[in-house]
Amino acid sequence: MAGVNKVILVGNLGRDPEVRHLEGGASVATFSLATSESYTDRDGNRQTQTEWHNIVMWRGLATIAERYLKKGSKIYLEGKLTTRSYEKDGITRYATEVVARDMVMLDNRPEGQVGNNAYAPPTAADAPSQAQAASPAPAAAAATPDLSAAEGSNDDLPF
Amino acid sequence: MAGVNKVILVGNLGRDPEVRHLEGGASVATFSLATSESYTDRDGNRQTQTEWHNIVMWRGLATIAERYLKKGSKIYLEGKLTTRSYEKDGITRYATEVVARDMVMLDNRPEGQVGNNAYAPPTAADAPSQAQAASPAPAAAAATPDLSAAEGSNDDLPF
Amino acid sequence: MAGVNKVILVGNLGRDPEVRHLEGGASVATFSLATSESYTDRDGNRQTQTEWHNIVMWRGLATIAERYLKKGSKIYLEGKLTTRSYEKDGITRYATEVVARDMVMLDNRPEGQVGNNAYAPPTAADAPSQAQAASPAPAAAAATPDLSAAEGSNDDLPF
Amino acid sequence: MAGVNKVILVGNLGRDPEVRHLEGGASVATFSLATSESYTDRDGNRQTQTEWHNIVMWRGLATIAERYLKKGSKIYLEGKLTTRSYEKDGITRYATEVVARDMVMLDNRPEGQVGNNAYAPPTAADAPSQAQAASPAPAAAAATPDLSAAEGSNDDLPF
DNA sequence: TTTT
DNA sequence: TTTT
Kindly tell me if the per-residue pLDDT of D151 is higher than 80: no
Q: Note the pLDDT of residue C39.
A: 82
Query: How many angstroms separate the CA of B49 from the C1' of F3?
Result: 12
In this structure, of A38-42, C113-117, D25-29, D40-44, the range with the lowest mean pLDDT score is C113-117
Question: What confidence tier does D128 reach under pLDDT thresholds 50, 70, 90?
Answer: confident
Q: Note the pLDDT of residue D92.
A: 86
Residues of D in contact with B78 (CB under 8 A): 4, 6
Q: Note the pLDDT of residue A82.
A: 97
Specify which residue's alpha carbon is closest to the C1' of nucleotide F2.
B14
Residues of A in contact with C74 (CB under 8 A): none
Residues of D in contact with B1 (CB under 8 A): 129
Give the nearest partner residue to B76 out of D4, D105, D132, using CB atoms.
Answer: D4
For chain A, give every domain's residue range.
Answer: 7-38+47-105
Asked if B74 reaches chain C (Cβ–Cβ under 8 Å), the answer is yes
Determine if residue A141 is left, alpha or beta; phi over 0 gives left, psi from -120 to 50 gives alpha, anything else beta: alpha
This prediction's pTM = 0.81
Q: Is the CB of B14 under 7 A from strand F?
A: yes
Q: Is the CB of B158 under 7 A from strand F?
A: no
The helix or strand, by DSSP H or E, that contains position D56, with its residue range, turns out to be: strand D46-58
Helices (H) and strands (E) in chain D, counts: 3, 7
Interface of A with B in 20-39 (CB under 8 A): 34-39
Distance between A123 CA and the closest CA of chain C, angstroms: 13
Q: Note the pLDDT of residue C126.
A: 52
Average pLDDT value for chain D:
79
Specify which residue's alpha carbon is closest to the C1' of nucleotide E3.
D1
Q: Note the pLDDT of residue A38.
A: 87
HEC states along chain A?
Answer: CECEEEEEEEEEECCCCEEEECCCCCEEEEEEEEEEEEEECCCCCEEEEEEEEEEEEEHHHHHHHHHHCCCCCEEEEEEEEEEEEEEECCEEEEEEEEEEEEEEECCCCCCCCCCCCCCCCCCCCCCCCEEECCCCCCHHHHCCCCHHHHCCCCCCCCC
For residues C135 and A136, what is the distance between their CA atoms, to the nearest angstrom? 9
**Contact across the interface for B107 and C107, Cβ inside 8 Å:** no
For residues D133 and D128, what is the distance between their CA atoms, to the nearest angstrom? 13
Q: Which residues of chain B have pLDDT under 50?
A: 111-125, 136-158
In the predicted model, what is the mean pLDDT of residues A37-53?
A: 92
Percent of chain D's residues with pLDDT above 90: 56
Q: Note the pLDDT of residue A126.
A: 55
Residues of B in contact with D132 (CB under 8 A): 136-137
In the predicted model, what is the mean pLDDT of residues A125-135?
A: 73
For β-strands C46-58 and C91-105, DSSP reports them as: parallel
**Contact across the interface for C76 and B74, Cβ inside 8 Å:** no
Q: In CATH, what is the architecture of B7-38+47-105?
A: Beta Barrel (2.40)
Asked if D88 reaches chain C (Cβ–Cβ under 8 Å), the answer is no
**pLDDT tens sequence across D65-84:** 999 999 999 999 999 999 99
Asked if C3 reaches chain A (Cβ–Cβ under 8 Å), the answer is yes
Q: Note the pLDDT of residue C11.
A: 97
Asked if A70 reaches chain B (Cβ–Cβ under 8 Å), the answer is no
For residues C16 and D76, what is the distance between their CA atoms, to the nearest angstrom? 35
Asked if C82 reaches chain D (Cβ–Cβ under 8 Å), the answer is yes
**Contact across the interface for A130 and C76, Cβ inside 8 Å:** no
HEC states along chain C?
Answer: CECEEEEEEEEEECCCCEEEECCCCCEEEEEEEEEEEEEECCCCCEEEEEEEEEEEEEHHHHHHHHHHCCCCCEEEEEEEEEEEEEEECCEEEEEEEEEEEEEEECCCCCCCCCCCCCCCCCCCCCCCCEEECCCCCCHHHHCCCCHHHHCCCCCCCCC
Query: How many angstroms separate the CA of D4 from the C1' of E1?
Result: 18
Distance between A111 CA and the closest CA of chain C, angstroms: 14
Query: How many angstroms separate the CA of B86 from the C1' of E2?
Result: 47
**D76 DSSP β-pair partners:** D10, D104
**Contact across the interface for C130 and B106, Cβ inside 8 Å:** no
Are A81 and A148 in contact, with CB atoms under 8 Å apart?
no
**C8 DSSP β-pair partners:** C78, D6
Helix, strand or coil for residue D155?
coil
Q: Is the CB of B32 under 7 A from strand F?
A: yes
Residues of A in contact with B94 (CB under 8 A): 94-95
Query: How many angstroms separate the CA of B30 from the C1' of F1?
Result: 13
- Residue D41, Cα to own-chain centre: how many angstroms? 30
DSSP state of D126: T
Asked if C129 reaches chain A (Cβ–Cβ under 8 Å), the answer is yes
**pLDDT tens sequence across C72-90:** 999 999 999 999 998 888 8
Residue of C nearest to D137 (CA): C39
Residue C90: CB atoms within 10 A of its CB come to 5
Question: What confidence tier does A149 reach under pLDDT thresholds 50, 70, 90?
Answer: very low
Across all strands, nucleotide nearest C110 (CA–C1'):
F4
Query: How many angstroms separate the CA of C72 from the C1' of E1?
Result: 10
Rounded to whole angstroms, what are the CA distances from D85 to C57, C87, C101, D97, D157? Answer: 25, 18, 27, 11, 11
Q: Note the pLDDT of residue B91.
A: 87
Higher-confidence position of C124 and D126: D126
Q: Is B89 exposed, middle or buried (0-12, 13-18, 19+ CB in 10 A)?
A: exposed
Q: Which nucleotides of E are covered by protein (CB under 7 A)?
A: 1-4
The helix or strand, by DSSP H or E, that contains position D99, with its residue range, turns out to be: strand D91-105
In the predicted model, what is the mean pLDDT of residues C3-16?
A: 97
Query: How many angstroms separate the CA of D4 from the C1' of E2?
Result: 14
